[in-house]
Amino acid sequence: MDALDDAGFEEPTPIQSQAIPLLLRGGDLVGVAETGTGKTAAFLLPILNGMEAGSQDPQALVICPTRELAMQVAGEARRFGASIGARTVLAYGGTSSGQQKADLKEGCDILVGTPGRLLDFVQSAWLSLRKLKHLVLDEADRMLDMGFINDVDAILRKTPMSRQTMLFSATFPDEIAELAGRYLLHPEKVTTHRRTRVTSNVNHAFYPVSKNEKEALLFEILRREKPQKTLIFTATREATSELGTSLRRKRYDVISLSSLLSQANRERALEAFRKGECQMLVATDVAARGIDITDIDLVVNFDVPMHPEDYVHRIGRTGRAERSGKAVTLVCELDGRRTGDIERLLGEPIPRIKLDGFDYRKWPVESGGSRRSRPGGRRRSGKRRPAGGAAGKGSGTGGRRRRRRGGKS
């Protein structure tokens, strides 16, 4: 209570109101809640409430999908646990393990870490989980997406069966339900729904374009907008490097941020972007959460996010601290389902913009909305004809018959 008073907390959030009483009873729990709803305190406060600090081996383990989230959770654990003397250790990859091992050797009540580094410590006998009482899987859906479940399986096999297990996830698809059935024993389930919306400070829209012309459209948008600080999201870490190279060829000052970089280099890259030493950051979704930079004036989704919630997180990196911002999403032929999911999440259509003066040669775009498949037939983009609309050399009369049969399908 002293820690909560010092932090200025007065009323619990909905996920805290539902989860804390259940967790105080000692049972397992599944919590479905978005980032920013207070779920970190929802699991940390019950853990700390019954803890006797001063353990040599961890009493509680929180597994996070990314280093940034692990750092955030560890910070909260230190803030809430300071009043009872609870010792929190942070363990993540991409940096030297020496200091982390030294921290563990000095004693640990709460251990927060990422799957790869935790598994390394377990397998090398630097970490014993035999006294573990509480286990938290934070943002389980992202761990599943990022391919960490095998590591998590291996870690959990080293934990006592008597542990209390908590699984938190922003979404609850069948794969997460299967994980809950595998890891938890008769769990209670709590779900909170926060009205998802985009701040009025952000002007956002979809820009339909052929996949092959996404780079060209991006360059044209940058040329016209002339942003001072731009954050560009890609789907994969390899794409961050490729797009960063293309932008540098256009004389942009760019840094690429992904898990390919060491933790030290990632922190240096973010600091350089924060200070304005580079004008553009190309990143995967690892940067969508945890970046708190108030003067980003343009966000570009070079690739449409896989999960609709990530759209809100991404474009929320601009329009902060009462500043106005702009967000652009490049939508290609195969993105119809994802854009539809985003609009359903927000409860409203998102404008489709055709950039005046841009040469949409490969995919003629209607400014009023995205193209749809024709009923009962193929998408137009499935097979392109050579320039000029001809059926192609060597097609003969068969090509002409095919055009007549398909002309009004």
Residue 271 has pLDDT above 90, yes or no: no
Q: Which fold has domain 2-191?
A: Rossmann fold (3.40.50)
* CB atoms near residue 79 (< 10 Å): 16
349 alpha-carbon distance from chain centroid: 23
Q: What residues does 63 pair with on adjacent strands?
A: 113, 137
More confident residue, 76 or 362: 76
Beta strands in 337-383 (DSSP E): none
| Mean pLDDT on 78-102 | 93
The pLDDT of residue 289 is above 60: no
The answer to whether 81 and 110 are in contact (CB under 8 A) is: yes
- Look at residue 8 in the predicted model and tell me its pLDDT: 81
Residue 199 identity: T
Span(s) in the chain for CATH 3.40.50.300: 2-191, 202-346
pLDDT at 10 over 80: yes
For the chain, first and last CA: distance in Å? 69
The CATH code belonging to domain 202-346 is 3.40.50.300
Amino acid residing at 69: L
Name the band, by pLDDT with cuts 50, 70 and 90, for residue 193. low
Taking residue 183's Cβ as centre, other Cβ atoms within 10 Å add up to: 21
95, 208, 233, 328 from 217: Cα distances, Å: 37, 10, 15, 11
Average pLDDT along the chain: 84
The stretch 82-99 carries a mean pLDDT of 93
Residue 291's pLDDT band, with cuts at 50, 70 and 90, is low
Distance from C-alpha of 327 to C-alpha of 269, rounded to nearest angstrom: 22
Query: Is 314's pLDDT higher than 80?
Result: yes
Quote the CA–CA distance of 39 and 20 in Å, as a whole number.
10
Q: What pLDDT band is residue 395 in, cutting at 50, 70 and 90?
A: very low
